[in-house]
Structure 1
Amino acid sequence: MRNKIELNKEKKDEMIRLIKDYFLKERDEDLGDLAAELILDFFVENIAPEFYNQGVYDSYVFIKDKAEDLFAIQR
């Protein structure tokens, strides 16, 4: 079962604003709230899990490397 990435209302509203600002600035398109929210939902559902998983993996490698460093302090 996949855990769903959830955003609080304030964070979601901010991301919608950022998407709308991006489309206006970069594409000269005035996106409505619904269109921006659908884009955000698509990214959260389909793209964000890859970034999350990479973060988990990077954390694992970091912790594993630090745990191996513990052997260096053996007497």
Structure 2
Amino acid sequence: MSIELPEDARSEAIASIQRYFDANMEEPIGNVAAGALLGFFLEEIAPAVYNKAIADAQESMQARIVDLDIDLHEDPFQYWRKYEQPRRRK
């Protein structure tokens, strides 16, 4: 599965890469090179980040499902129990 960014996010990511190079590298990076670098990151590294996010979401949902069972569980056949009197010993 290919990870695609919306056009506005892609443009902002390219600008951020260029800014990073300007601030931290000896040579600036152009728009085309920054776009290629972003493409590399999206193809090579983003799937690992995506898979981790999905695993975290699954873990969170499983915990909530367990809580649902605890929070929303109702014992069946309780109608007559509210009418039962404790039996007295003679």
Whole-angstrom CA distance in 1 between matches of 2:24 and 2:63 = 42
Aligned-residue offset at 1:9: 1.7
The 5-angstrom pairing of residues 1-75 of structure 1 reads: 3-73=1-71, 74-75=73-74
Deviations 1:1-27 (A, max 9, x none): xx1111122111111100010011011
Aligned length: 73
Larger CA Rg, structure 1 vs 2: 2
What is the aligned-residue RMSD (CA, Å)? 1.0
User: Could you say which structure has the greater relative contact order, defined with CA pairs below 8 angstroms and 6 or more residues apart?
Assistant: 1
Taking structure 1 as the reference length, the TM-score comes to 0.89
Q: Write the distance in 2 (CA, Å) between the matches of 1:28 and 1:13.
A: 23
Q: Scaled by the length of structure 2, what TM-score is found?
A: 0.76
Structure 2 counterpart of 1:56, which letter?
I
For 1:70 and 1:12, locate their aligned partners in 2 and report how far apart those are by CA, in whole Å. 39
State the distance in 1 between where 2:24 and 2:9 align.
Answer: 22
- Structure 1 equivalent of residue 88 of structure 2: none
Tell me how far apart the structure 2 counterparts of residues 50 and 26 of structure 1 sit (CA, whole Å): 25
Unaligned runs of 5+ in 1: none
